[in-house]
Amino acid sequence: MVAIVTGGNRGIGKAIVEELLKIDYTVVITSRSGMDDIKRLRDIYGKNVVFYPCDISFDDDRKRLFRFVDETYGSIDLLVNNAGVAPRERKDILEVTPEEFDYLLNINLKGTFFVTQELTPLLIKNKKARIVNISSMSAYTASVNRGEYCISKAGISMITKLFAARLAEHGVSVIEIRPGIIETDMTAKVKEKYEKLIADGITPINRMGQPEDVAKCVSSIALGNFDFCTGTVIDCDGGFNVRRL
Ligand code: NDP
């Protein structure tokens, strides 16, 4: 079984890579920069783990990734669309510039859409394959100081539905995972703020999530435990999604 994990060199993506390796997937890790930990993983998992550079916002990179995977493996069983960025600087929606908006949407939304489109022939070849999209609780939660991020994640929810509807006839299911507050580089700058919110009860489960929490949802999907589900959303968020009164 072969999986591609975009943004697999650190954070949530890296935890997903490790969970998939544990259940005997061969994993192609992609991201813009390299992976410090690749030697350790190769020492443990050998040929089953490969790093291939790909910026999902560049068409040439997406096409090179397709060619590499096609020539090396011929097909894929699982695509995990995890790569994503936060705004370089959090700005109120009344101040965000078109350039900042484009930067983020080009990666998170357009990159995710077109990398999925590019790799679809390799998923279809298998007659049975899975896509997991890592969106966010920001898909439905308004943060006015990073509106472009929220818009990108709401868009990923529609990508989930679109590809679920389009690819079911080809045996490809699509599941979206909405992480809550997860401790990674992305949240490092705002960790104190989030820790206070959690201490004040913003989530029923009273801790920050860890990358492994999300990775375990992905490995469960990868094992086939959700095979009658498509277009489905999993909230991996400590219960943030529960409205309370
Ligand atoms: P990190 O910042 O730790 O990791 C982001 C990953 O995406 C890195 O591997 C990065 O690698 C890769 N990446 C970024 N841009 C590109 C690009 N253009 N092409 C290819 N790879 C790219 O963040 P997290 O691990 O926290 O986030 C992973 C996903 O989870 C993201 O989509 C994020 O939005 C989402 N998420 C995170 C939450 C959190 O609380 N941490 C909550 C909800 C959702 P490189 O820089 O080398 O390209």
Q: At what angle do helices 147-167 and 98-105 cross, to 10 degrees?
A: 30
Whole-angstrom Cα Rg for the chain: 17
Alpha-carbon torsion (117, 123, 125, 128), positive or negative? negative
- Dist. CA 229 → ligand 1 center (Å): 25
Mean local confidence (pLDDT), 182-197: 97
- Dist. CA 184 → ligand 1 center (Å): 9
Return the closest-CA partner of residue 61 out of 111, 26, 100.
111
Pocket probe for ligand 1: among 28, 32, 159, the residue whose CB has the most ligand atoms within 8 Å is 32
- Dist. CA 186 → ligand 1 center (Å): 7
Q: Is the distance from the beta carbon of residue 187 to the nearest atom of ligand 1 less than 6 Å?
A: yes
Kindly report the protein residue whose alpha carbon is nearest to atom 41 of ligand 1. 182
Q: Is the distance from the beta carbon of residue 111 to the nearest atom of ligand 1 less than 6 Å?
A: yes
What band does 37 get if pLDDT is binned at 50, 70 and 90? very high
Domains and CATH numbers, the chain: 2-234 (3.40.50.720)
Residue pair 75/127 in contact by the 8 Å Cβ criterion: no
Q: Is the distance from the beta carbon of residue 81 to the nearest atom of ligand 1 less than 6 Å?
A: no
Over pLDDT 70: what percentage of the chain? 100
Go through 138-159 and write b for each residue having 16 or more CB atoms within 10 A of its CB, e for each that does not: bbeeeeeebbbbbbbbbbbbeb
Active site residue 149: yes
Kindly report the protein residue whose alpha carbon is nearest to atom 47 of ligand 1. 33
- Alpha carbons 104 and 147: distance in angstroms, whole number: 10
Predicted pLDDT at 120 = 98
Model pLDDT for residues 4-35, shown as the tens digit of each residue: 999 999 999 999 999 999 999 999 999 999 99
Q: Is the distance from the beta carbon of residue 35 to the nearest atom of ligand 1 less than 6 Å?
A: no
Predicted pLDDT at 127 = 87
In angstroms, the first-to-last Cα distance of the chain is 45
Extract the tokens encoding 14: 């890296």
Q: Is the distance from the beta carbon of residue 31 to the nearest atom of ligand 1 less than 6 Å?
A: yes
Burial class (CB in 10 A: 0-12, 13-18, 19+), 18: buried
Return the closest-CA partner of residue 81 out of 111, 61, 52.
111
Predicted pLDDT at 5 = 98
pTM value? Answer: 0.98
Phi-psi region of 209 (alpha: psi -120 to 50; beta: other; left: phi over 0): beta
- Alpha carbons 222 and 2: distance in angstroms, whole number: 10
